[in-house]
Homo-oligomer: A and B are copies of this chain.
Amino acid sequence: MSGTSPVFVLLTDFGLADPYAGQLKAALFVHAPSVPILDLSHGVPPFAVPTGAFFLAASRRYYPKGAIFICVVDPGVGSFRDLVCITNANHTLLGPDNGLLALACRDMRREGPVSIHTLVPSSLPAANTFHGRDILAPIAASLASGSAIHAVGARPRKKIFTPPWAEPEHGSGEIICTVLHADRFGNCILNLPNEDELLLYPRLSLYIPKSGNSVALQEVTHYAELPASAAGILPGGQGFYEVAMANAPAAEHLDLAPGDACHIRGDLWGQV
C-alpha cells in the first residue's frame, strides 16, 4: 500500500447501545493511533449478513485507496467459520467468511487481481473472544503499518463463500431476488444490480413467497413517477434496484424484510 495513507473503516451490527463499537475503536486506536477511523455503520440489523454485504458493496467505492475495512456481522461468533482477508490494489477487507464480503469481493475482481487469505490467529482465541476487537483489530493495525499479509499469520486461498443471495436467479419469465435491506423510508433494496436488465414485458408483478401475495409492479426511474399506493421498481441510488411505494414504506405494506425472497414476474398476456 505504498503511496497511500491507510484509514480504518468500520462496518458492524453492534449498534451503539452496547460498548462493543467503542471497544473495537479503542483496540484500533491503541494499535495504530495515527490511523483515522471512519464509521461506515454500526446499524446493520443484528446478524443481517445480506444487509451488511449490501452496505459494504454500495459504499466501498467512496473510500480512498488504502482503506482497510473491518467488518463484523456474524451470527456464528464462537462457532466454526474462517476469518478472511481480501485485498486488491485499492482496498483491504477483513471479516468472517459468511457472505458478508461476497458482494464487495465480486466488485473488487472487476478492478483487477484480488488476493484472498485465511487469517490464522497467532494463538488459540480464549473463550468469549470478541473477534473484531481481539483478532481483527491487531491484524488491521499490522497491515496499516505496512506488514505483508503473510506476516500477520494468513494462508492464501482461492475462493470465499458465496451465499445464495449473492446474485438473483434469472429464470424463464421471472427474476428471483432477495431483499438485501429495507431503508428508513421502507424502500426494499434487492440483490439485482442496476446494470442488469429487467424483464422485457410490458407489465410486471412482484410475487412474495412468504405471504403468497402478488402485486402489480410499475417500472419507473424516479420515486416521483409512482402513483399513490402503487408499488414500483426503479434503479436505486445505491447501485441496486429498489422496490418502493409513493410516500409509503413498501417494506411494511408488502411485508418484506432483509433476507426475504421476491419474484419479479412478467405478465404473460402482455409479453412483447
Among B7, B18, B236, contact of A41 (Cβ-Cβ < 8 Å)? B18
Among B19, B41, B46, B236, contact of A16 (Cβ-Cβ < 8 Å)? B41
CB within 8 Å of B: which of A201-241? Answer: 221-224, 235-238
Nearest-Cβ distance from residue A195 to partner chain B, whole angstroms = 14
- When distances are taken between beta carbons in the complex, the residues of chain B under 8 Å from A38 are 22, 25-26, 29
Q: Does A135 contact B (CB under 8 A)?
A: no
- The distance in angstroms between the C-alpha atoms of A96 and B214, with both chains bound, is 39
Q: Does A21 contact B (CB under 8 A)?
A: yes
Q: Does A40 contact B (CB under 8 A)?
A: yes
CB within 8 Å of B: which of A1-51? Answer: 5, 7, 9, 15-19, 21-23, 25-27, 29-30, 33, 36, 38-46
Nearest-Cβ distance from residue A141 to partner chain B, whole angstroms = 12
Q: Does A79 contact B (CB under 8 A)?
A: yes
Q: Does A161 contact B (CB under 8 A)?
A: no
B25 pairs with A59, CB closer than 8 A:
no
Q: Does A252 contact B (CB under 8 A)?
A: no
- When distances are taken between beta carbons in the complex, the residues of chain B under 8 Å from A45 are 17
| Contact code string A54-91 (vs B, CB < 8 Å = 1, else 0) | 01001100111000000000000011000000000000
- When distances are taken between beta carbons in the complex, the residues of chain B under 8 Å from A59 are 19, 22-23, 26
Nearest-Cβ distance from residue A159 to partner chain B, whole angstroms = 26
B62 pairs with A30, CB closer than 8 A:
yes
Copies of this chain in its oligomeric complex: 3
A33 pairs with B15, CB closer than 8 A:
no
- The distance in angstroms between the C-alpha atoms of A236 and B18, with both chains bound, is 14
Among B25, B40, B185, contact of A19 (Cβ-Cβ < 8 Å)? B40
- When distances are taken between beta carbons in the complex, the residues of chain B under 8 Å from A222 are 78, 127
Nearest-Cβ distance from residue A69 to partner chain B, whole angstroms = 11
- When distances are taken between beta carbons in the complex, the residues of chain B under 8 Å from A235 are 127-128
Q: Does A133 contact B (CB under 8 A)?
A: yes
| Contact code string A119-135 (vs B, CB < 8 Å = 1, else 0) | 00000000111100100
- The distance in angstroms between the C-alpha atoms of A21 and B128, with both chains bound, is 31
- When distances are taken between beta carbons in the complex, the residues of chain B under 8 Å from A158 are none
Going nearest first, the 8 A-B pairs with the smallest beta carbon separation are A17-B43, A128-B237, A22-B40, A26-B62, A16-B43, A19-B55, A19-B59, A26-B63
